Structure 1
């Protein structure tokens, strides 16, 4: 099951990337994932995050599985016994006119993925949309 959100932002890919990878500033602007902590920003890093979903906050542990600086990064969350595996990829792509397209995809699989969709699918979609709005606002603020 794939959850996807994207938006063209009036900023350069470098400006969007700078906001996305400034994890220490997430509490200031990111309503969906207000906390993301990891040691070094590199493949294999352990990621600890706070996710707000359906009015509740929950801690999640993940592993950074992909990093192409300036373009994309991804992390995976795995629940025990293959109940749910989620891979979230965030990409920044150049668009004509010096703009950037931000794409966020959360690809879920596992035994309980249907139940997760029924219980949290709408909240996930709303969380992605809220983050897009906040990202757009944050990038605009940083541009001045």
Structure 2
């Protein structure tokens, strides 16, 4: 298993960050591993919704089928995915508004499990952590005036 995480303070209200985070039409503008949604992303963001995503991690393309596992508007989005070579993935996006409401702490946590993960654990962890950090930087750039 490989677990990764990254966190950043974004100088924007949680509503604005959430709107960008869940706008699947612009997902590729900030998500560093995303390459496309073959079928356009989820029709609606709700518990149990499924969608397919093409990704690239460590330079390798991967097709993942995601299911929305947890959803709290403007606070939490957790998805679980099935990828190639028996790899299971989980991504958790959590938003914590600052007390004044003008900024938001955004944390992304990822988990990769499966036989293929044990073969490339260290490199996968480094690559995925760098991708999460880049994603947060790009997300910040999109929502911060």
TM-score interval, smaller chain? 0.7 to 0.9
- Structure 1: give runs of 5+ residues left out of the alignment: none
Q: Kindly provide the CA deviation profile for residues 11-57 of structure 1, in whole angstroms up to 9, marking residues without a partner as x.
A: 11111101101111123343322435112211111121122222343
Residue 85 of structure 2 is aligned to residue 88 of structure 1: no
Q: Which residue of 2 aligns with 1:118?
A: 122
Q: CA deviation at 1:79?
A: 5.0
User: Which structure carries more relative contact order (alpha carbon 8 Å, separation 6+)?
Assistant: 2
- Structure 2: give runs of 5+ residues left out of the alignment: none
Q: TM (normalized to structure 2)?
A: 0.84
Number of aligned residues: 140
Contact 1:23/1:35, CA 8 A, preserved across alignment: no
Root-mean-square deviation over aligned CA pairs? 2.1
Cα distance in 2 between the residues matched to 1:87 and 1:45: 15
Contact 1:85/1:108, CA 8 A, preserved across alignment: yes
What pairs up with 1:88-107 in 2 under 5 angstroms? 88-98=91-101, 99-107=103-111
Q: Which residue of 2 aligns with 1:64?
A: 68
Q: TM (normalized to structure 1)?
A: 0.84
Residue 143 of structure 2 is aligned to residue 139 of structure 1: yes
